[in-house]
Amino acid sequence: MAETISLMDVDEGDNNTIPKPNKGKNVFVPNDGKAGLWIEKYRPQSLADVAAHRDIIDTIDRLTSENRLPHLLLYGPPGTGKTSTILAVARKLYGNQFHNMILELNASDERGIDVVRQQIQDFASTQSFSFGSKSHVKLVLLDEADAMTKDAQFALRRVIEKYTKSTRFALICNNVNKVISALQSRCTRFRFAPLDPTHVTERLRHVIESEGLDVTESALAALVRLSSGDMRKALNILQSTHMASPKMTEEAVYLCTGNPLPKDIEQISYWLLNETISTSFSRILQVNCALFYYVFVKAD
Ligand SMILES: Nc1ncnc2c1ncn2[C@@H]1O[C@H](COP(=O)(O)OP(=O)(O)O)[C@@H](O)[C@H]1O
Ligand SMILES: [Mg+2]
């Protein structure tokens, strides 16, 4: 939960200047090839849409409303809503000026010291500007901050300090221990835990209903089980299973993900406990070679 909260300062003297185009990559480019993906189609648009993490979301929502957004460090396993949360904050802060006000850098970008010094610095050093009646700080979203080199992280620490007046930094990572403590201490940290089954189920039901899918209850339970609290994984399995078989059963879900069916595992356990190893071996081979691999190679 929140550890340090700094006030949001806006450089009033910089108002009304025309923003330079981002030197870096703007986020949320529609139709970039991901348009057909349900993970994008059903990405929460507002903070209220983000499932689970209510305490964290309410805190961030309040800080955003009060114009007191600190630098953020969101960490935790994939598919739990970290990126979506920051994008929702940006939408709330900037509305249709979204693209001018946020710079997103992620793992596919060069992460050396030069990127920090140039791209971020170029963006952060352009003057803030106002729209509507308010002036705003800009936002730099650094996804996978734990993949940055130590040198780059130290350089970033200085950039953050230098541009605190006009820019907020949102760092996102899976492994917080790979972020240097000097950076951690400049941010308010929030841990995003895996989503609990209730939230995954609820969100999946929403997509199933919106897409008009035919999904059995046991298939839904299998989706929740196999995704282990990773909402991105849950939606990807749902979509790929749907493409493979319009009527979605538990079996279709397991087949699509390449996971052995629970009934096959039961049968195999029975053989292993009641037959000789060589008989079990050949029986399993007869059932399915992939299962043989799963039982004797992968799960050794
Ligand atoms: N808490 C959540 N509530 C609703 N949808 C979520 C949530 N977390 C993840 N998702 C879904 O998974 C996709 C990936 O989420 P994202 O925010 O990029 O996860 P992270 O950055 O934690 O890896 C989103 O587009 C959304 O469809
Ligand atoms: Mg992310």
pLDDT at 12: 35
What residues line ligand 1, using a CB cutoff of 6 Å?
39-40, 42-44, 50-52, 78-84, 192, 195, 203, 231-232, 235
Q: Tokens representing 211? A: 């897409």
Say whether both 28 and 97 belong to one domain. yes
Q: Is residue 54 part of a domain?
A: yes
Q: Which residues of 152-181 are buried (b: 16+ CB within 10 A; e: fewer)?
A: bbebbbebbeebbebbbbbbbbbebeebee
* Nearest CA, atom 18, ligand 1: 83
Q: Is residue 168 part of a domain?
A: yes
Say whether both 173 and 45 belong to one domain. yes
Say whether both 18 and 115 belong to one domain. yes
10-residue stretch averages of pLDDT, the chain, 300 residues long: 38 35 34 72 96 96 94 97 96 87 74 70 70 74 88 87 90 96 96 98 97 96 97 97 93 89 86 91 75 62
* Nearest CA, atom 8, ligand 1: 81
* Nearest CA, atom 7, ligand 1: 81
Q: Please choose from 231, 237, 238 the residue to mutate so as to test ligand 1's pocket, defined by most ligand atoms within 8 A of CB.
A: 231
Q: pLDDT tens digits for 228-242?
A: 999 999 999 999 999
Q: Is residue 131 part of a domain?
A: yes
Radius of gyration of the chain measured on its C-alpha atoms: 23
Burial of residue 15, with CB atoms counted within 10 A of its CB: 0-12 exposed, 13-18 middle, 19 or more buried = middle
Ligand nearest to the CA of 142: 2
Say whether both 86 and 103 belong to one domain. yes
Q: Is residue 241 part of a domain?
A: yes
pLDDT at 13: 36
Q: Tokens representing 210? A: 């919106």
Say whether both 111 and 84 belong to one domain. yes
At residue 196, what is the residue type?
D
pLDDT at 35: 58
Say whether both 39 and 116 belong to one domain. yes
* Nearest CA, atom 13, ligand 1: 232
Domain of residue 227: give its range.
Answer: 197-257
pLDDT at 293: 65
pLDDT at 295: 63
pLDDT at 152: 83
- Ligand 1 centroid, distance to 186 Cα (angstroms): 25
- Ligand 2 centroid, distance to 47 Cα (angstroms): 15
Say whether both 156 and 233 belong to one domain. no
Say whether both 128 and 232 belong to one domain. no
Ligand nearest to the CA of 47: 1
The CATH number for 133's domain is: 3.40.50.300
